[in-house]
Each structure stands twice: as C-alpha cells, then as structure tokens.
A and B are shown apart, each in its own frame.
Chain A
Amino acid sequence: MSALLTTSVGSLPKPPYLRKARAQYSRKELGRKDLLELEKQSTREWVQVQEEIGLDILVDGEQDRGDMVTYFAENLEGFAISGLVRSYGNRYYRKPIAVGPIRRNEPITIDMWRYAQGLTKKPVKGMLTGPYTICDWSFNEYFDSREAFVMELAQFVHQEAMDLEAAGARYIQIDEPAISTRPEELDLAIQAMGVVTEGLTATTITHICYGDFAKIYPRMLDIPVDILDLEMANSGYQLLEVFQQHSFGKKISVGVVDVHSHVIESPEEVAEGLRRVLNQFPPEQILVDPDCGLKTRTVEEAKEKLRVVRQGVDMIKKELGID
C-alpha cells in the first residue's frame, strides 16, 4: 500500500470566483471574513477533487496564499513589503523586506490545514516554505548576514511545523525551491532544515525546483528530511543519470507532469516516465506527483494533470501486480 503513493506539490489554481474576490479584497471592497468563506469553499472543492481522483496524500491547495514567500512574510513580525519589482516581462510583485527581529505571534497555517483535514479521512500535508527560500526571495535591511537571517527564520518555521504535527499532520512538506540556484550555500540550507525538522515524527518532505543538481548531488541527500520531491518530467528525466553516481538513500517524490505546459500528458507518458524511474528505484521508495505547484494552470488543466498522475500510476501498479 505504501508503494507509489500519489500526491501533489502544494499549490492548486484559484477558481475565477476566488481570484475576483481577492482582487476585491485588495481594493477593500470585500471584508476578510467574506474572503475567508470563499477560500474555504474552494479548499473544499479541491479536497473533493483530489478524493474523487483518488490521490493518496492530499493538500489544501493554498487557496489563501498569494506568493509562497510573501504569505509567510505577511504573517510574521519583522517584515515589511517593498514597492513593485519586476520578475519577467511586464510582471511585477512586491518583495518582502526583513526590517527587524522576526517574531511569530500565532500559528500561520494551522487553521486552514485543520479545515482541510476535517473534510477527508486521507492525510492532508502541512505545507511550509523553508527558511533558506524565504531569505533568498526577500530583501534584507536588518540582518548582518544571510546566515543570521536564515537561521533566525528556521526557528519560526520549526515552530510552525511543530504546531502542524501537534494538530495531527502526518506529512509536513517544507519547500526549498531556491536551494538549487546557489549550490555554494547548500550547507546553510541543510543546517537550517536541521533546525526546522528537529524532533518531528511526522514524515517530512522538501521540494526543490529544477536547477544544476549535478553540483549539489550527492550532498543534497544530507538535507534532513525523509522525502526529496523533484521535477523530472520538465527535464526529460535527465536527473536519473545524476542519481546513478551515488545511492539515493531517501524516498524520492517524482514529478511526472510538466506544470508549465498547457498540454495534458497521456497516462502512457506518465507510465513511461515511471518505468524509467523504476529502473533505478524500487516502488516502495517512490512517490508520484506533478513537477511543481499547479497554481499557474487553469482549474481544468490542474484537474486533468492530477488525474493523469493517478492513471499513469495505476497502469504501473497493474504491471507490477501491486495492490
């Protein structure tokens, strides 16, 4: 039963009614309470979708989060939010700025996690952004060094993880997509993750986005989590070659559908990718999910991408005669 478990990376698209409500909220045309009701509604819808598709480990879909870093910065003391900076072409965002000592006045993600978990008997993952990524994607006016900034953040992400565990979360994912952009700081990210996951008994996962893994492998296996979640489909499963050089020694969560493409993969494509992974990893060591968060896809595309993950895994399970 614990072979080839299916899940998703975390974020799921917000339905049009919620996008509209968020815009109204930012213009102060809608109250916080009304927005929360709509966030819960779409969370409920996504939990139903994941159950109906038959995924094994669910997520709440992060319907109440905008950007994965800004969300935490807005809910921690010690951050301000900058003016608009450009990310690409004509796209702009407001970047967090560390301006003082960081404090967490109350749990940030627990209420929405608890709401989602109350809707299903399947486990819902607690979803956090890691300290290294929060630092890397913020400006810093306060800390003397990146090390000091990351290590202070680690304490608060740890508290949040402990609260998720106390609330009953069996899986806690701490995303560190920024790790692969600066291989020279991998040790710092590992040290910070050690603080975050210390004393947790829940199964821990981290998601790292595509980057130059050849430079951080096998050292990245020292990131103190149980499962590493990696993009595979986007890079044509090239990572498998890198991983041949050294025994992986952890569970691997394999991204089998490209989240940047509108094209829906076929179940056969997913199965074919998985067969390649199965050449190197036994089924018990593998979890299966999309490459990354699906929030940039439409609701329909995201559903189809999740469904095809399930169908591809079912084809493989049948071939292997498991379940």
Chain B
Amino acid sequence: MLITTVGNYPKIAEGPEGQKLRRVINRFDKGDVTGEELARVEDEVTREVIQEQEEVGLEMVTDGMVRWNDGQTYLARRVEGFHLTGLLRYFDTNTYYRQPVATGPLRWPGPMTVRDYRFAAGCTSLPVKAILTGPYTLAKLSRSEHHPDLARFALDLADIIRQEAQALEGEGVPLLQIDEPAIVRHKEDWGLFQQVMARLTDGLSVKRVLYTWFGDATELPGFTRLPFHGFGLDFVGGPANFDLLDDFPEDAELGLGIMDARNVKLESVDYLSRTLERATAHVSPDRIYLNPSCGLDYLPRDVAVAKLKRLVEGAGAFKAVVT
C-alpha cells in the first residue's frame, strides 16, 4: 500500500510566509516583479509542499500542482490553438476556471510539464507521480470553434496528451496519473471515452493510472479494463464505487479515495481502518494507493495537513489489525 495524494495541494497557508505565492502573483499581475521571480517562488513553494507531504508520512508525492490554476488552463495556455475565455464553475464546487476555447488546429508545443517533474523529483527521494488532465475531460470542460464535434475535439487532444505523456515517459516518471473526472458526470459519452482512452494510450509504455472523482464509475461497462495499470475512484463523492470492487481485475491497482477532500470534518482512524478492511477484501493491499477523494485544493492548508496525517494514522491502524 502506498499513501499518496490525488494531485493538487493548497497553495497558501496562514501567516505572511505561508502567503508568499499569493503575494508574488499579485505583484506579478501588476507588473512589479518579473516572470523569473514568480517562477522562483513557485519552485520554493513546490519544494515546501513536497517536504510537507514527506513529513506527514506520504510514500509517493506530487509537486502539488502549485503552478496550476486548475486542471484545464495550465495545459490550454500552452497548447497551440487554444484561447481562454469567461469564468466557469468547476463541476459543483465553488471554484472557477477560465474556459479554454479551441479556435484553430491544436498542436503540442513541446514538453509542458517535464521541467516541473524534473524539479519535483530533485526535491525528494520519494517517488513523484506526474499528473495530466485527460483529453476527454479537457475537451468536455472546454469548447471548440474549430472542431465539428466533441469526438474530433477529444481525439485531437488525445494525440496531444499522448505526446506529453511520452515526454514524461522519456524522463522516467515512475507513475503517470491521467485525470478524467468528467466521465463520471457524463456517462452518455462512454463509447467516445473508450475511443479516446485507446488513442491516448496507443504506444505508451509508462505505468499509468486513470483517476476520476465527484461521482462513481458504475454503469460504464469495462471501466476497470481500460488500458491503464490502475484506477483511482472517489468513494466519498461516489459510494457506489464499492460495487466495482466485486470484480476488480486481479492485475489492476486501485486508488482508494476514502478521505473527503471537500469537507473539513476529520475522519476517524476507525472509519479509515474499517474502510480499508472492506476494500482489501477485494483488492490486496499491495495494489492499493491510499489517497484523499480528490485534490486537496478545496481545503485550507492546515486542514489538508491534518487530513493527510490522519490518513497515515488510519493506514497504521489497519496494518496493526491485519498483522
């Protein structure tokens, strides 16, 4: 069992030192500091966020996506052919993003996240998971004025995300996480989704996991047989995900999202331990990534840290019970 996060991490904490990223972005927006200065603080905060994940006892970390405003625009700002437009709500959260619109042919601009991965890997001796938003979710949360339909748009994006994944593969990432939350909210697109995933993974050899959240992946026949090594599921936003464990493939890994990353209420050690027991009745512990239900960016930093600590305690209690 590896304890990890699902990706993003709160970017700021209380107090002046905790808010240096917020301050430097403000000053950058006003033109008071250079892009290099902004990048320097982003690196500094990334290093701190990784250290914090190490200190609480995670066994695999991410760069916290400190540089990402959201899952969509970090990539859409870089992919050629996209423009950003008005604010849209991200699913049913109280967070917003600028909707990307494809206005011309889309082109991969060269590695977008390789430098970020390399920096993060240099900050820690723990394995660092790389994260990309999947092509279907990217298409679904964006709009295209260039493509005739969603299918053509998403398949184009699959080519672009595959090139990025190949670049990360060349860098030797131990695990690549592809985020596709939109599919659990739009099950009517299941047929298209399978095509897009096939295109995305064509020729890829990097170890990869497919993550969803804010819903369950039931009624998507064959979801856990898609061409990935593992599947991350949100058991808080989608309790029906427990049904998928009954015939979870023997060779697949499970991202077990059982800690609510959208509410500050702290889960009990007992709940975590019991839920782990329930999951390991179907999936052996060595195939489980234990993680929150989704990214931690919806929580204040102090609560996020407390929740991760509790997750580690829950895993400890579970291990004590089974051994």
Contact = CB atoms under 8 A, between A and B. Distances in A.
Given A90-B25, A139-B264, A141-B265, A260 B86 contact: yes
Contacts of B302: 83
A89 B263 contact: no
Contacts of B19: 84
Contacts of B263: 139-141
B115 interface: no
Interface residues of A, number: 19
B93 to A, nearest CB: 9
B300 A85 contact: yes
Given A139-B263, A141-B265, A86 B89 contact: no
Contacts of A87: 94-96
Given A85-B297, A90-B22, 6 more contacts: A83-B14, A83-B300, A85-B299, A87-B95, A92-B12, A95-B94
A95 B25 CA distance: 22
B22 A88 contact: no
30 contacts: A82-B264, A82-B300, A82-B303, A83-B13, A83-B14, A83-B300, A83-B302, A84-B12, A84-B19, A84-B300, A85-B298, A85-B300, A86-B11, A86-B12, A86-B95, A87-B95, A87-B96, A88-B95, A88-B97, A89-B25, A90-B26, A97-B264, A137-B94, A139-B263, A139-B264, A139-B265, A140-B263, A140-B265, A141-B263, A260-B87
B307 to A, nearest CB: 12
A90 B264 contact: no
Contacts of B11: 86
A182 interface: yes
B69 interface: yes
| Interface-central residue, B12, B86, B94, B97, by most chain A CB under 10 Å | B94
A191 interface: no
A181 interface: yes
Contacts of B257: none
Interface in B9-54: 10-14, 19, 22, 25-26, 29
Contacts of A137: 94
Nearest to B92: A181
A83 B298 CA distance: 11
Interface string B250-277: 0000000000000111000000000000
A89 B70 CA distance: 8
B187 interface: no
Contacts of A139: 263-265
A131 B86 CA distance: 28
A180 to B, nearest CB: 10
B152 interface: no
A88 B87 contact: yes
Contacts of B140: none
Interface in B47-103: 69, 86-87, 89, 92, 94-97
Contacts of B97: 88
A245 B265 CA distance: 43
B147 interface: no
Sorting the interface of chain B by its residue count into under 10, 10 to 19, 20 to 34 or 35 or more gives 20 to 34
B118 interface: no
Interface string A185-209: 0000000000000000000000000
Contact of B10 (A86, A140, A181): A86
Q: Which of A90, A95, A181 has most chain B Cβ within 10 Å?
A: A90
Contacts of B69: 88-89
B29 A88 contact: no
Interface of A: 82-90, 92, 95, 97, 137, 139-141, 181-182, 260
Contacts of A85: 10, 297-300
B301 interface: yes
Nearest to B263: A139
A195 B299 CA distance: 31
Contacts of A90: 22, 25-26, 29
A227 to B, nearest CB: 25
A82 B265 CA distance: 11
A305 B21 CA distance: 36
A54 B94 CA distance: 35
Interface in B277-308: 297-303
B303 A83 contact: yes
B25 to A, nearest CB: 4
B254 to A, nearest CB: 27
A268 B153 CA distance: 38
Nearest to A211: B89
Nearest to A80: B264
Nearest to A94: B300
B12 to A, nearest CB: 6
Contacts of B22: 90, 92
B264 to A, nearest CB: 4
Contact of B96 (A84, A88, A182): A88
Contact of B14 (A84, A88, A140, A181): A84
Nearest to A89: B69
Contacts of A141: 263-265
A181 B19 CA distance: 31
Nearest to A69: B94
Nearest to B86: A260
Contacts of A97: 264
A159 B86 CA distance: 38
A260 B264 CA distance: 31
A181 B91 CA distance: 8
Contacts of A140: 263, 265
B268 to A, nearest CB: 13
Given A137-B94, A139-B265, A141-B264, A83 B301 contact: yes
A141 B96 CA distance: 24
7 smallest CB-CB distances across A and B, nearest first, come from A83-B300, A88-B96, A141-B265, A139-B264, A90-B25, A181-B92, A82-B300
